[in-house]
Amino acid sequence: MTVFERLGLFVARRRWWVVGAWAVLVLVALPLAPQAPSALRAGGFSLDDLPSSRARALLVDGLGLPPSALVIVYDSETLRAGTREFELAAYRATRDVASAPHVVQVLSHVLAPRQVSADGRTAYDVVLLDLPPDDSPAALPGIEAAIEQQPGMTVTLAGGPAFYGDIQHVSEADLRRSELISLPLAALALLLVFGSVVAAGVPLVVGGAAVVVSLALVFVLASLMPMSVFVLNLATLLGLGLGVDYSLLMTSRYREELALRRGGGTPPSREEVEAAIRVTVATAGRAVFFSGVTVLLGLLGLILFEFMVLRSVGIAGALVVGIAVLSALTLLPAILSILGDRLDALRIRRVTAVASESGAWARLARRVMARPVLVLLPTLGVLLALGWPFLHVRFNAPDASILPPSIPSRAAFDRLQQQFGEGDFSPVTLAVRTDGPATAADNVARLFAYSRALARDPRVSRVESIVDLDPRIDLPAYQLLYASSAGPPDRYAGARLQATTKGDLTAITLYTPFGPNRDEAKALVADLRDPDGPLAPPPGLTVGVAGGAADVGDVVGRIGADFPRTALFIVVSTYLVLFVLLRSVVLPLKAIVMNTLSISAAFGALVWVFQDGNLSALLGFQPLGFVETTLPVILFCVIFGLSMDYEVFLLSRMKEAWDRTGDNREAVAVGLERSGRIVTSAAIIVVVVAGSFVFADIVLIKALGLGVALAVAIDATIVRALLVPATMRLLGRWNWWMPATLERRVGNRLPRSEAEVEAMVR
């Protein structure tokens, strides 16, 4: 007797104990699950060992510069900056901010004319914080509590901390909205599939239990280690989608097995119910297990990345998949064992439990296999055309534009860009090391020459450094100014020197007209780092580049460099799992190729929609002009597993028919017929759950939901109904080929259980 058969019998005979154990687990999880959002954090897009991070750490540690900053934006339609009324209102609104927790200093617009817009209606202060960027949202509650809104003036917060804080709040709202949309639609789909209220409710109960327990475990994990807020939406998508999917497959197989054992419409005996559970777990349960392993492997690939946002999504996703599989293999059989034939209670329509071998799906498969080349070529062309836009993809890091315009930090971001330009809030910062003290005469000369070379670059609008105090000061004057060991006699020069220079380390700040995601800004960073380029520092100076554009370029570059390793791990490990399941060398390879086509089509759609802006009005977002760099990585890992999920369900039934008949065409037709309706229903559930995230306010969540929904829909229709039968017909018996050496070890063999005998007989 196989492991899965023993598991089925164990659960069937101890059904009340299993249900009781899950009930206790859910009761323990219920108070913890709602707390998961509060334990998660935004950010996680940086690493300490990136070149930009090392340069920033050098300035923070060497000069004591605050690691993060927040922007307070003042807007007024009636008051003008510089007038008594405006400044009094601004003072009263934010006078307590300087004493709020984590605030190091407030750089007021009163002393900085550049922080006031040309029309005087907008001004901003910079609040320096003692928290690293990923932890900076912790300063928001104290600062928000310290702000008092004044008549005639609107005070809002902008910058990284406010952006991350709003992402957290909006993500929770997006999750609630998606649940309100997806749960009723999923229940309706299940009701139509099973035709009875009880049968439709069982998968929802099992999927709901998986989600509650998963979110509770996410809360526990997030209390022990940093975890991204994007875990929240993905955990619900996978927990509910896979939990219902696996329950759907298992429940359908149970109804089929029970129908085969019942005679004359009499109620089934306890032995018949246990036998049905045993075979269900041994067949559908085995498929669920291997399906879960393939999804798990895809998500584990994210752990190979060092970025917190990717690693935490991988850890939490793998945890959710594990819980979904566990609930399908234990809680579901226990409930089915208790219900027996009462599973069909409260029936609204009659549904055939046992599929014939000549139904609509079998007829479709036979039509495709009659003309495999005529089906394969145009279908392949359609998928390649869908993926074509991905060839001009542009990767960038997220900014406030991924939030809807109505969110305060996004509105403030737009206002600042409109009034001051997009480059003023993401300057390029240079950490410059000199040979000896930076204020030595020869080093001042080097810095002076370097600063002037930088200022001549057309991409640089302004340079700030200890040798850029005033354009009227020449090099000899600067050397004289810094010659005294007591420091410059001028107070402004002394303050600038103290803020930006210590020993052999000094900071140079470059302002550009371009935001950090613009190609011009990233090209400037590349030129600054090029030792042989026109912006290379003179001998005696060593330069590290930090700032927005440098961070974006480094993150995109590191993710791009690490992705091939992750993809290789997922592909190889998935191949090995499918090889063990299907005992074929060719089928796993074919499944991987099919998956790649589905994923490429989804990626092309993402570029066409979110980068190029098509359908943006219909979907309710402003085009980004780029694809956020972590999105394709997460989608690849999630979609690869989900698409393989349905391939496992389909090929498992084909393998059963092949073992019984040895006829490839019959195996394809029967396998598609017996899995077609169920796999289509399962795909609809995932499309509904994932598609509900299209209504999210955060563009990244919207894109994730649309990408998963598209890939699953393509895989469950075009790939499974057309490509799979066509390719399996063309490959013929090669589908099931295995070298003789491997065949003797793991290939065709005598059945080892009654369940396998029963599967072969059928």
Q: How would you class 48 by CB atoms within 10 Å of its CB: exposed for 0-12, middle for 13-18, buried for 19 or more?
A: exposed
The pLDDT assigned to 403 comes to 85
Helix (H/G/I), strand (E/B), else coil: 738:
coil
Report whether 493 contacts 470 (CB < 8 A). Answer: no
Express each pLDDT in 341-395 by its tens digit.
888 887 776 656 555 566 788 888 899 999 999 999 999 999 999 999 999 999 8
Which residues pair with residue 68 across a beta bridge? 129
- Give residue 251's pLDDT: 87
Each residue's pLDDT tens digit, 525-547: 999 999 998 899 999 999 999 98
Question: Residue 747: enclosing H or E segment and its boundaries?
Answer: none
Beta strand pairing call for 505-511 and 462-464: antiparallel
The segments of the chain whose pLDDT lies below 50 read 747-757, 759-762
Taking Cα atoms as reference points, which of 648, 724, 735, 709 lies closest to residue 379?
Answer: 724
User: Domains along the chain?
Assistant: 3-43+165-400+554-761 (1.20.1640.10), 436-539 (no CATH)
* Close Cβ partners of 734 (under 8 Å, ≥ 6 residues apart): 586
Supply the pLDDT for residue 751. 42
Q: What is the dihedral of CA 668, 674, 679, 680, to 10 degrees?
A: 90
Q: What whole-number distance in Å separates Cα of residue 115 and Cα of residue 75?
A: 12
